[in-house]
Amino acid sequence: MKTINLVILFSGNGSNMQNIVETLRNKVFFNNLDLENKDEIEIAFPFCITNNPNAYGISRCKELGIECKVLSHKDFSGREEFDRALLKLIAGTQVELVILSGFMRVLSPIFTSNLKSINIHPSLLPKYKGIKAIQESYQSDDNHGGVSVHWVNDVLDGGEIILQDCIPKISGESLEGFQKRIHHLEYKLYPKAILKALNLTQSNTHG
């Protein structure tokens, strides 16, 4: 069985990270683009990385049995120096794709030109880029909110879209309620987008 290694980067709670691991680990996949070759493929998570030594996601990694490497951006003089160290940390492993999951750093071309990366954002891009996306979407006149998964480049939330999905707004709903539904949509969409980015299909869909 072929193994595809993914590394997840996070900065905080790590709930999306945990959901991705639990959804994709210990499953069997096939390559969509290689129809003649039905070799089985598994997805592995050799380690995760956080830039926050106090991130709750570190505890989640421990519970999942995954090593978590801590690389604090505060130990570096600037963004590019941090990105070089981040790249070096990953480069020794055969990693097919880097998954940004609540990773609160804008990566420079030093990183993005060397490793394929994807990110999730809680709006229907190109609307509402940046860290206040959910609040801005909630306060807007739009009749729906949504989630986007996109390729990462050196422009904030600016890479090519892989998948998007939306939820209808509910009259009178609180920001907290809207935010909860957005996060639930993230949990559903991100694993699907990862498989699309890797051109994989889960084996049990091949009835």
The CATH topology of domain 2-205 is: Rossmann fold (3.40.50)
Angle at CA of residue 149, ends 145 and 155, nearest 5°:
100
Burial per residue of 18-56, b for 16 or more beta-carbon CB atoms within 10 angstroms, e otherwise: bbbbebbeeeebbbeeeeeeeeebebebebbbbbbeebe
Catalytic residues: 121
Domain layout of the chain by residue ranges: 2-205
Would you say residue 130 has pLDDT above 60?
yes
Residue with tokens 């690389």: 71
Global pTM value: 0.92
pLDDT (0 to 100) of residue 206? 43
Rounded Cα–Cα distance for residues 71 and 85 (Å): 8
Would you say residue 207 has pLDDT above 70?
no
pLDDT (0 to 100) of residue 203? 78
Residue 131 is encoded by which pair of tokens? Answer: 């860290």
Give one word for 177, left, alpha or beta, with left for phi > 0 and alpha for psi -120 to 50.
alpha
- Cβ neighbours around 146 below 10 Å, total: 21
State the virtual CA torsion across 196, 70, 25, 4 in degrees, nearest 10: 60
Q: For the chain, what percent of residues have pLDDT higher than 90?
A: 81
Question: pLDDT digit string (tens) for 28-62?
Answer: 999 887 767 778 999 999 999 999 999 999 999 99
Question: pLDDT digit string (tens) for 162-194?
Answer: 999 999 999 999 999 999 999 999 999 999 999
Q: For the chain, what percent of residues have pLDDT higher than 70?
A: 98
